[in-house]
Each structure stands twice: as structure tokens, then as C-alpha cells.
Amino acid sequence: MKAPLADRMRPTTLDDVVGQTHLLGKGKVLRRIIESGQLPNLIFYGPSGVGKTTVASVIARTTNRTLHKMNATTASTADIKALVGEVDTLAAPNGILLYLDEIQYFNKKQQQTLLEHIENGRITLIASTTENPYFYVYNAILSRSTVFEFKPVSAGEIEQAVRRAVRFLEEESGEEIQAEDEAVAHIAASCGGDVRKAINAVELCVLSASAGEGTRRITLEQASQLSQRSAMRYDREDDSHYDILSAYQKSLRGSDPDAALHYLARLLEAGDLPSACRRLMVCACEDMGLAYPMGIAVVKACIDAAMMVGLPEARIPLADAVVLVCTAPKSNSAYNGINAAMADVKAGKTGDIPAYLRGTGYEGAKKLGRGLTYRYPHEYPNHWLKQQYLPDELQGTRYYQFGDNKTEQAAKAYWDLIQGKDE
């Protein structure tokens, strides 16, 4: 049984690696480290199919080290100890280079066992993870390693890998293979920055292509049927979920309807309607806020409609709400106010509630002096009078500051007039 095409044609030099030019380009830091021959412990962080395993293999070949591969989903502490037993033997004359895939699946005890051996230099570690290592990798290992982030490969770079895969299969099979430019572009664009996925799609296309007149043709129709339906990476438990939500919320706050609609589309394509609705409602209250208070009710109505009709129609009322929030004036004055008030409460800055503001709905309240001097604002001109409401300890504290938008400035002008304040 043949290995997958991506493994059969795996690059053997850094120059053959597709993408990651920010790390492996001429003069870039990871390339310089590899070429120096003095290898520190490394952690490769990034999505699958972007070259982490390939680069580890190239490093082993470049530094003349024995490469041992383990996957943390199946490896155990005993496997690590058995590996250490090979140190200083003929099997590993230059020391052991361990490539540990998915290190986030090692528990703390397993990572501590590994730490013992990388500290004394018996093992040089290259660990890879698709999760943020600063959340999942033991701090002591992090402090002894250098983290490099691998990024999804661009469609333009993946096209190079797709054409190389076609040439490789031609040489391997001895048959002529012709790939339409449109098919190559589609495969490269539909793999979500995953080179392995693109190469495997090429192999499927070749296997399904008819060999007319000794030539196999890869057409756009084939590529559309056999490549992945969606180019998007999304998992509700990994970084991409939170990255999309963060970009979505910041685009709403930044008043960019095109970007906000793009990230909304990514959330809806993944079927994550609840997250799309929740972040939209938060932005309406936090970022649009009192600059357009009725907009909050409109957004809530759109979200209710979206939840009622469900996907795919939910995209319509949500798009309305997203564009509304993006194009509405912004104010976070109330948001800042409640944050300041909560900070005081958490810090113990509270004080006694004035007696005349306390509840009076029980027998004996008057004997305790409750509510005796309270004045009812509606009995006074303009339904207002000057009266202390904050505790004595907080007199003069200002939590809310009027925003500079039309709505809040109109409210400020009204209250300045009522309260007799001079501008």
C-alpha cells in the first residue's frame, strides 16, 4: 500500500518547502538557526498541513541527527524512557532529535518527564501543536524552548505545490497529466491554506481522471467535486474560533461593514449562529450604545428573527443588524461608566446608603429614620431637584461622562438647562 502523495513527495530541503517564508526565507531567524547546526528546543505552532513535520524532517537531515517521531495522542511516559535508552548508542551517535506531534495532548506529568531529559540535553525537542502553546504547554518546557508560529499557506504558494504534485505523479506513473489552470487555482483556493489537503486532492483528481489518448486531464469540474467544500478552518474549541469572533467584534466596533459581514459569513458557514448573535448583541450595547439607543432594540429584533427562522435565512436579519451597528454612531460611555462603578464596588468603595433612600415598606421603618426626608422629584419643576443619591463616601464621584455624539450631547444640553448649569 502506497503512502499518501503528500508523504511520498515531502520536501528534503528548506528551499522546497512551500510557504512559511517569514520563518524560512533567506536571512530569516529559523533558517539561520537551522543552518547554524546548533539546534535549540523548538515548538512549532500552527494549523495542520502547513509544513511543521516537513521542516522537522529537513532539520534532522541538515543537522545529521536521528529523528524519532511520536504522537502525543498515543505515546506514553514509557515511550520517552525507551527513547532515552538509545542515547549514546550506535543508534543515535549524535544525540536524539524528538519530533513530538500534538504536544498539547501530553498531561502535566508526561511533560515533566520530558522536561527532565531536555534539560540535561539527552533529547533535543521539536514539538508541534495546532493549539496555542501558551495555553497548553507546561511553562517549564516553554521557558526552555523557542516558539515559532507557522501560518496557513497562501493560495498562490499552494499552486506551486499543486503543480509539483502533478509533475511528481507524471514521473511516478509514466503517464502524461495535464491540469487546467482553473482546476489548479480551485484546488489551491479550496484547501484553506493546507498544503497536504491540496496535494491529496491532486491525487484524487488524477485517480479519477480518464486516460484518453494516454493523457490524464484534471478539469475544473473534477477539482470542484473532489476538493474540500470549504476552505475555512473552524473549530469551536480552538484558536480559530476565538480569532474569528475577535475580528468580527472589532470590525463591528471599527465601523467596517465589509469586514464585519465577512466574519459573520465565516461564522454562519460554520453553523455557529449563537456566537454570531451573542457578539452582535454585545457590540450593539457596548459600542453603539447611547449614541443610538433605539438601535439596540432593532438589533435585538433582528437576532430574534434570526433565531426564529434559523439558517440559512438567518443570514438576512443578521446582515441587516451588522450593517446597522457598523454604520451607526458609536459611544461606549455607559460601558465605561458601569466598568468604573464595578471597579469601585470590587475595591470595597461602597459606603452607607443615605437613610432617606432606604426602603420604607415595612413597619418600624420610620422609627429607624428611613425615608423621612426623601423628596419626590415629580413634585418639583421639570421633575427634578438637587438631592444626594450616592453614599457620603462617594460624593462627587463621576462614573458616566456624556459622549460626544448627537444623542448624548442633546441629553447633556437638556440636563444642563434643567439643573441650571452654565456652559
Residue 211: give its domain's CATH number: 1.10.8.60
Q: Hunting for cell 470542484 — which residue is that?
A: 224
Q: Which residues does 50 contact at the CB level (< 8 Å), separation at least 6?
A: 19, 20, 150, 151, 152, 153, 193, 194, 195
DSSP 16: G
The answer to the question of residue 393 being in a domain is no
Chosen domain end from 263, 293, 327: 327
Sign of the alpha-carbon dihedral angle for 224, 225, 228, 229: positive
The answer to the question of residue 61 being in a domain is yes
Residue 371 has pLDDT above 80, yes or no: no
What is the pLDDT, as a whole number, of residue 365? Answer: 74
**Is there a single domain that holds both residue 58 and residue 102?**
yes
Q: How far apart are CA 259 and CA 269, in angstroms?
A: 15
Q: How far apart are CA 110 and CA 137, in angstroms?
A: 11
What is the pLDDT, as a whole number, of residue 233? Answer: 55
**Three-state DSSP state, 410:** helix
Q: Which set of grid coordinates corresponds to residue 409?
A: 450631547
Measured at the CA of 55, the angle between CA 129 and CA 239, to 5 degrees, comes to 25
Identity at 350, one-letter amino acid code: T
**Is there a single domain that holds both residue 58 and residue 135?**
yes
The answer to the question of residue 413 being in a domain is no
Strands lying side by side in the sheet with 215-218:
176-179, 215-218, 211-212
The answer to the question of residue 353 being in a domain is no
**Is there a single domain that holds both residue 27 and residue 140?**
yes
Average pLDDT over residues 399-412: 95
The answer to the question of residue 345 being in a domain is no
Please give the distance of CA 27 from its chain centroid, rounded to a whole number: 29
**Is there a single domain that holds both residue 39 and residue 145?**
yes
Kindly list the distances between the CA atom of residue 230 and the CA atoms of 74, 114, 167, 172, 344, in Å, as whole numbers in the listed order.
30, 38, 26, 30, 48
Write the CATH number for 269.
1.20.272.10
**Three-state DSSP state, 100:** strand
Residues 236-245: tens digit of each pLDDT: 555 577 889 9
What is the pLDDT, as a whole number, of residue 363? Answer: 73
**Is there a single domain that holds both residue 168 and residue 128?**
no
Q: Which residues does 226 contact at the CB level (< 8 Å), separation at least 6?
A: 201, 204, 205, 208
**Is there a single domain that holds both residue 196 and residue 88?**
no
Residue 47 has pLDDT above 60, yes or no: yes
Q: How many domains does the chain have?
A: 3
Q: Hunting for cell 498531561 — which residue is that?
A: 107
Residues 368/293, Cβ–Cβ less than 8 Å:
no
Q: Which residues does 255 contact at the CB level (< 8 Å), separation at least 6?
A: 326, 327, 330
For the chain, how many residues are written? 423
Chosen domain end from 113, 128, 149: 149
**Is there a single domain that holds both residue 317 and residue 249?**
yes
Element (H, E) at 374: none
Q: How far apart are CA 15 and CA 58, in angstroms?
A: 10
Q: Which set of grid coordinates corresponds to residue 209?
A: 481522471
Poorest-pLDDT segment among 79-83, 163-167, 392-396 = 79-83
Identify the domain containing residue 210 by its residue range.
155-226
The answer to the question of residue 367 being in a domain is no
**Is there a single domain that holds both residue 199 and residue 253?**
no
**Three-state DSSP state, 310:** coil
**Is there a single domain that holds both residue 178 and residue 269?**
no
Chosen domain end from 269, 303, 327: 327
Of the ranges 138-147, 204-213, 222-231, the best mean pLDDT one: 138-147
Q: What is the pTM of this model?
A: 0.63
For all residues of the chain together, what is the average pLDDT?
87
